Structure 1
Amino acid sequence: MNYLQAFILAIIEGLTEFLPVSSTGHMVIASAVMGIGSDEFVKLFEIAIQLGAILAVVVLYWKKFFDFSKWQFYAKLLIAVIPALGFGYLLNDFIDDKLGSPIFIAVILLLGGIVLLFIDKMFKNPKIDHEADITNMSAFKIGCFQVLAVVFPGLSRSAATIIGGMQQKLTRHAAAEFSFFLAVPTMCAATGYKLLKGAHLLNGENIKLLLFGNLIAFIVAIIAIKSFIGFLSKHGFRVFGYYRIVIGVVILALYFSGIDLTVL
């Protein structure tokens, strides 16, 4: 991997991590197209640069994350993250195997896109517009929705948790923000686990690439988060549904036209 390839992957991570379009699917396909998808460090890089995106959430919502007087906020995140951590650990090998299947990712992108076309009409009359009003049970149920993204790579962690929030009567705005908050412990755990497993890959040059990628992901994620909240509140999910369908079709077309995506 060179710095240009790292730059491209980091932009994709920053743009898509908090959108309901599957950052993992986008980065895996991009790395395959660039011919670096089979590299073990690239697979680590795609996970590790999530730290930059996580930092963007913490910076933008620093008052929330550093108000230690409101322990209930941290308790809700802990309750919500437990299901994904458990399933992620148990199904790690399954997840890695499915990330190697472009057909699997394409199908999940397509199906998720179809769901997003109708999601705004499925959950009407939301009642909760602030994180403080989310109960511990609702937080746990949202965390269970996050498990779907763990089991089905390409679904999108953001999409799963936002839909879970809306199912629990959160407004689109509140559901998106709680999804951002929940991303912090979830992605920290996933990234830390991958870094421990891939510690043997962390030589001097690779560490520089990781630092560079995290910086780019951080900058782009800040812009994406600010833009997404406003767009989602006004326009809903439909455009993201169409986008996922288009991307899914493109992946299938590339695969069946004979372009080698098997390096994933």
Structure 2
Amino acid sequence: MYQFTPDEIDRVRADYQAKQQGAEDVGSKRVGNLGEIAFEQFCREYLPTEMWEWENEDAIRRCNPESFSGHDFEVFGYEVDVKTSRDVSAFLPETLVENDSDDDIIVMAWHRDAEDSLILLGWEHVAVLESKVRTQENFSGQEPAKLQHLASQPMNSLQDLGPNTANMNQTPDNPFSPGDRVQRKGDDDASEAIVVEVLPPETQIELYGQEIDGEAVRVAFPSSLDEGPGDWRDIDSALLSSYCDDQKIKLYTYKHGNLSYSKK
């Protein structure tokens, strides 16, 4: 099992995206978003980045409606859906099959009441879950109600679906966060900019026809932000990406190593 503690940006984006999505149950959608973020962090830590893809990365970062897709991730070619719940009975085989039998793999994430910590309990193939349900239906013995088995393989065995991997430690080296004020490194006269988006390390970005070698951030300049309908200084830093996307405010992409914190 693996524990994930969301930071303030994760919390704000998960909540705001759920509201923007128009979810009937904002609370359930919010923790579902946090479950996806938790699994993304697990993948980043333990699986090669070229072997998995998060379908909703852009949607959650920009708090937009999600892409039309029946699953949350593709991992080693499998369609993976993340189920997040405070009630562990949601992870019984029969319950999981009833709620989702269209994907290849289901990952189970449990969250505390305060939503301040999530535990990745494990994962299971949907085909295996269906087999367990059929077996249970044919079981003629007396099974104690208190010993119902959750569907779960250890998270670290997920690595066995693909290449042998150790701890990949693919966390970003980028020191910046949304809301930081930055300027071009080595140029004290450079204009101050505001960090809006911190892109995942594996994102392929081209500038002037050449691919950036390193992690990238997207920034907006105050003069452009001032043209928006509201005072951007009152907007939560986690929502600047959503604001700029909604208002079509132009963003500029920089390699993070070419920026420094503003001295102005």
Q: TM-score, normalised by structure 1?
A: 0.24
Normalised to the residue count of structure 2, the TM-score between the two structures is: 0.24
Structure having greater relative contact order (Cα 8 Å, sep ≥ 6): 1
More helix as a share of residues: 1
More strand by share: 2
